[in-house]
Structure 1
Amino acid sequence: MFILQNLDSTTLELFGWDLTMPLGVALLFAAIAGAVVIAIAGGVRILQLRHAANRQRSLTTDP
């Protein structure tokens, strides 16, 4: 419904590209891109913590 109410065209300039699309679609793409960036950052952090936990576990269990 939000996209249908925001059909005014807008021009986006991104990395030298000029894109013209409805405002609602542009906001939807921005929200999806933000979610992807957050998911990648969270995944990297989880991998860092898992690696640190495994390293700590191996240091405490070695005789």
Structure 2
Amino acid sequence: MSVLHRTRHAPKPAASGTPPSAVDELVTPLPARAPRTRLSGAWLGICVTVLSFVVLIVFMLQNTGSVAVNFLWLNGSVPLALALFIAGVAAAVLATTIGAARMTQLRRLVRRRGKD
């Protein structure tokens, strides 16, 4: 068996006064992972948000050309990146609204079934 692979059997204790060998260190179990906390989740969220903003900034800097926008009775000229950003935010707001309405509907259904 390779030194890099762990063995199934626990190592024999080393004689007193002698340091453990490299094989003994490979056989010892790894320490338990640190538990996940709300703070670690928040830190991960902050990191993902910062990376997303960096990508968004690069996208907006690369798409600065103006485009003509016509919406209902409104018409004008805005940078392409801004037009796409506004459309994305509008889609996110719409999806969030529909999701919140569905969650409210399901909660009411659960409450009604709980009372019966």
Q: Under a length normalisation based on structure 1, what TM-score does the superposition of the two structures give?
A: 0.89
User: Which residue number corresponds to residue 107 of structure 2?
Assistant: 50
Where structure 2 has 5 or more consecutive residues not aligned to the other structure, the ranges are 1-57
Number of residues of Structure 1 aligned to a counterpart in Structure 2:
59
Task: Map 1:19-30 to 2 at 5 A.
Answer: 19-30=76-87
Letter in 2 for 1:58: K
Residue 72 of structure 2 is matched in structure 1 by: 15
Structure with the higher fraction of residues in strand conformation: 1
Match of 2:8 in 1: none
Higher helix share: 1
Q: CA RMSD in A?
A: 0.7
- Give me the TM-score of the superposition, normalised by structure 2: 0.50
Select the structure with the greater relative contact order (CA < 8 A; seq sep ≥ 6): 1
The structure with the largest alpha-carbon Rg is 2
Moved over 3 A (4+): none
Give aligned-pair identity as a percent.
Answer: 32
